[in-house]
């Protein structure tokens, strides 16, 4: 066999392949069609249920049966995606208009998933059958081959309502995403009617009917004034708040009851909200919470927060709006497939596309119905005409040798070979000119149709057919007539399936929380050698002073309203509010510093810690491994940022020591090789924190400063141990900066 090698640029091949993949995801997977508001997996699932006869008035069928049939015939992308689509279309807390009637555990609003598909059952909702799948037998939409060309599937469902607006949609494609909020069915139908009556209607005009999104979870939209721009452009942010009610609690307390949640909180967001509220109490952000409980059930959401008697309820509600997801944002990006390509559309464009689709469906439907009625008319006229000459026709049938001979006589008047009773019959038979369809109908007509009442019924049926033809022609020829029919159908759908609006739309006031300032008090900060930090009150510290000083690496006093500073060996300064460090009992474990600051224990080590207030009053001495020294005024570290650079370092250098100056006179540097250099602190210049500093000790190759000591007075006993030998620092000779110091022999 001859082989042909095709050479191509690898980058071009990858680019082309990726574009093909991206377009497949965009068009055939992730984005809905603006005409029926459905993604391919949703469309295929509904059509498969329709084909299987799982109607609203018939028994439920196993979800696994539906998923398997859909996957085998139309959607070869895995059963999980099909079942997930089926589940979502049945959840009334996600869809304003559920399209599938689920039986069994189909999940709940709190994020619990549906049971396995082998346990659940489903069938179509009544509205799905009537408004989404009706008229498929009338040629209203095109059918395309499935993935293996063994079946046919509809390219789009003949949906009679703007489902894209009513149910909304969410999906992530390649490089783009769609997020469309659900709306109220009755309002959307009213807007469609208004557009049909006046195609030049503006977005503002449509918003007289569509007040805003209508989420299944209710809630309150608080930026009504922004909706106009969102509906014009198709993009924007909708701010939603949960609905909160105030009830009387036990012992004169107040209960704050959340009965509706923001739509984005569906699922794990509820558990997150509960933990956030609990965290407000644990971190002392508020002292008003007594208890919190989730009493939600099938009847609806009910989250109860029990508050103290003297709580400022409005201020506490604002705290929840500010610090939790009780106020959330729904990002709008009305992206859908229109004319085979993704397009971001405003409210008016979506309704226009839906209305044009409705007219297209109606034109194809009534064209099909007209053709059927015209065919019926032709046959009926033939049967009526045949009844007037029935004796002649019977004579033709009895005198013919076969069906073909009789049919030729009825259609073309050929009498050759047919036996007639008289010459008059021959002449009359030769004048017959029935059409092919009429002749077939006459030959298949049963004798009972010759009964008088049957003849009257035939005439009456013919009159009805003529009336239908006149009506269908009028609908097809006049757009006003077609619009009237469509509006009548929409009115019928609205009358049966409309419901009250659940979401309130208003311009809410900005939530302003006035945080109660805690009473300022002196506390003691403790951090052990493992990096766990906590604060205790002064009384507790005084009772446990010896244990506190012995067991902890850093112990100092600070204000509960102040900040605590941590200097690390990487030259960074991390600050944390004292209020963010857990306040409790002496034997409490505390929390890792990593949890309350930007400090990373895996990459850096703390060399010094103090309160910011204390630093402001002192000067700090910085010493690095490369023996770079400087004194910095503590006021430079009065910063609000959580992390800043405390000093400048050479590449590879690290901070060995940071110390506040009190009564110290001299500083002693010890290198790893055993050199001790004692010098006066007056030799160290004061510089800015951004400065590199000056060299303190002249180090040999590979040597570095390992420890730093301070001497307060010349006569004091100040000894340290190094490699088993005791060194009296006060007996060291005072040297000059930038010298090697004294070598201590072991």
Which residues are tagged catalytic? 119
Is 182 in contact with 166 (CB distance < 8 Å)?
yes
Rounded distance, CA 652 to CA 8, Å? Answer: 49
Rounded distance, CA 579 to CA 602, Å? Answer: 25
Rounded distance, CA 565 to CA 568, Å? Answer: 10
Phi, psi angle pair for 678, to nearest 5°: -100, 130
- Reference 57, options 114, 7, 124; nearest CA is 124
DSSP 51-69: HTT--TTS--EEHHHHHHH
Rounded distance, CA 312 to CA 512, Å? Answer: 13
Is 239 in contact with 223 (CB distance < 8 Å)?
yes
Pairing relationship of beta strands 643-645 and 572-577 according to DSSP bridges:
antiparallel
Could you give the strand order of the β-sheet that contains 100-103, starting from the edge strand earlier in sequence?
Answer: 61-62, 121-124, 100-103
Q: Write the CA distances from 644 to 450, 460, 567, 636, 640, integer angstroms.
A: 104, 94, 10, 11, 9
Phi, psi angle pair for 401, to nearest 5°: -80, -30
- Reference 646, options 638, 444, 711, 724; nearest CA is 638
- Reference 721, options 659, 666, 674, 663; nearest CA is 674
Bridge partners, 135 (sequence order): none
Run of H or E residues at 185: helix 185-197
- SS3 breakdown of the chain: % helix, strand, coil, rounded to 5? 40, 25, 40
The 3-state DSSP class for residue 259 equals: strand
The 3-state DSSP class for residue 599 equals: coil
- Reference 680, options 616, 733, 601; nearest CA is 733
End-to-end CA distance of the chain: 86
Q: Write the CA distances from 315 to 310, 319, 320, integer angstroms.
A: 12, 6, 9
Q: Which residues contact 531 (CB under 8 A, 6 or more apart)?
A: 592, 593, 594, 601, 606
């Amino acid at each position: 066999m001859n082989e042909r090698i095709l050479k191509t640029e690898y980058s071009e091949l990858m680019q082309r392949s990726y574009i093909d993949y991206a377009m497949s995801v965009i068009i055939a997977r992730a984005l809905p069609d603006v005409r029926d508001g459905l993604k391919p997996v949703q469309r295929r699932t509904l059509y498969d249920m329709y084909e299987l006869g799982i109607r609203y008035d018939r028994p439920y069928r196993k979800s696994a049966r539906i998923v398997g049939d859909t996957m085998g015939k139309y959607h070869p992308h895995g059963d999980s995606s099909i079942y997930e689509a089926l589940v979502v279309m049945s959840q009334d807390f996600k869809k304003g208009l559920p399209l599938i009637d689920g039986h069994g555990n189909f999940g709940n609003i709190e994020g619990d998933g549906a049971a396995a598909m082998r346990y659940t059952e489903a069938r179509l909702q009544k509205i799905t059958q009537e408004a989404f799948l009706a008229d498929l037998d009338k040629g209203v939409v095109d059918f395309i081959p499935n993935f293996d060309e063994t079946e046919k599937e509809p390219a789009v469902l003949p949906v009679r309502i703007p489902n894209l607006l009513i149910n909304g949609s969410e999906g992530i494609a390649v490089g783009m995403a769609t997020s469309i909020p659900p709306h109220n069915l009755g309002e959307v139908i009213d807007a469609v009617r208004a557009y049909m009556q006046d195609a030049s209607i503006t977005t503002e005009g449509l918003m007289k009917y569509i007040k805003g999104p209508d989420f299944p979870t209710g809630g309150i939209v608080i930026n009504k004034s922004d909706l106009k721009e969102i509906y014009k452009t198709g993009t924007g942010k909708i701010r939603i708040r949960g609905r909160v009610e105030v009830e009387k609690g036990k012992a004169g307390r107040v209960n704050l009851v959340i009965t509706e949640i923001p739509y984005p909180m569906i699922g794990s967001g509820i558990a997150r909200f509960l933990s956030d509220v609990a965290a407000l109490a644990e971190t002392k952000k508020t002292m008003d919470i007594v208890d919190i409980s989730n009493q939600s059930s099938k009847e609806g959401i009910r989250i109860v927060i029990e508050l103290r008697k003297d709580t400022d309820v409005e201020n506490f509600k604002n705290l929840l709006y500010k610090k939790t997801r009780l106020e959330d944002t729904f990002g709008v990006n009305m992206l859908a497939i229109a004319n085979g390509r993704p397009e971001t559309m405003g409210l008016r464009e979506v309704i226009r596309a839906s209305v044009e689709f409705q007219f297209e469906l109606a034109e194809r439907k009534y064209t099909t119905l007209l053709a059927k009625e015209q065919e019926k008319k032709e046959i009926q006229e033939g049967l009526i005409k045949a009844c007037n000459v029935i004796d002649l026709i019977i004579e033709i049938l009895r005198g013919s040798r076969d069906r073909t001979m009789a049919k030729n006589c009825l259609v073309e008047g050929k009498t050759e070979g047919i036996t007639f009773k008289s010459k008059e019959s021959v002449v009359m038979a030769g004048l017959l000119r029935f059409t092919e369809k009429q002749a077939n109908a006459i030959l298949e007509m049963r004798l009972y149709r010759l009964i008088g009442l049957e003849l009257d019924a035939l005439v009456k049926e013919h009159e009805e057919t003529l009336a239908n033809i006149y009506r269908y022609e009028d609908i097809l020829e006049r757009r006003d007539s077609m619009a009237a029919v469509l509006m009548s159908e929409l009115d019928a759908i609205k009358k049966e399936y409309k419901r009250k609006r659940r979401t309130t739309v208003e311009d809410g006031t900005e939530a302003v929380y006035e945080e109660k300032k805690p009473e300022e008090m002196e506390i003691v900060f403790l951090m052990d050698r493992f990096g766990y930090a906590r604060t205790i009150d002064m009384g507790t510290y005084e009772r446990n002073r010896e244990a506190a000083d012995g067991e902890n690496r850093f112990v100092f006093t600070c204000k509960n309203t102040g900040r605590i500073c941590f200097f690390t060996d990487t030259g960074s300064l991390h600050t944390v509010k004292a209020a963010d460090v857990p306040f409790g009992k002496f034997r409490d474990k505390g929390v890792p510093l990593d949890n309350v600051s930007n400090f990373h224990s895996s990459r850096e080590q703390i060399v010094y810690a103090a309160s910011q207030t204390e630093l402001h009053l002192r000067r700090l001495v910085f010493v690095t491994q490369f023996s770079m020294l400087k004194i910095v005024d503590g006021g430079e570290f009065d910063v609000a940022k959580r992390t800043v650079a405390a000093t400048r370092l050479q590449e590879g250098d690290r901070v060995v020591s940071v110390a506040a100056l009190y009564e110290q006179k001299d500083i002693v540097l010890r290198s790893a090789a055993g050199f001790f250099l004692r010098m006066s602190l007056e030799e160290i210049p004061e510089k800015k924190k951004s400065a590199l500093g000056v060299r303190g000790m002249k180090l040999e190759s590979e040597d570095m400063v390992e420890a730093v000591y301070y001497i307060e007075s010349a006569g004091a006993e100040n000894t340290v141990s190094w490699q088993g030998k005791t060194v009296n620092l006060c007996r060291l000779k005072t040297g000059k900066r930038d010298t090697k110091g004294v070598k201590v022999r072991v």
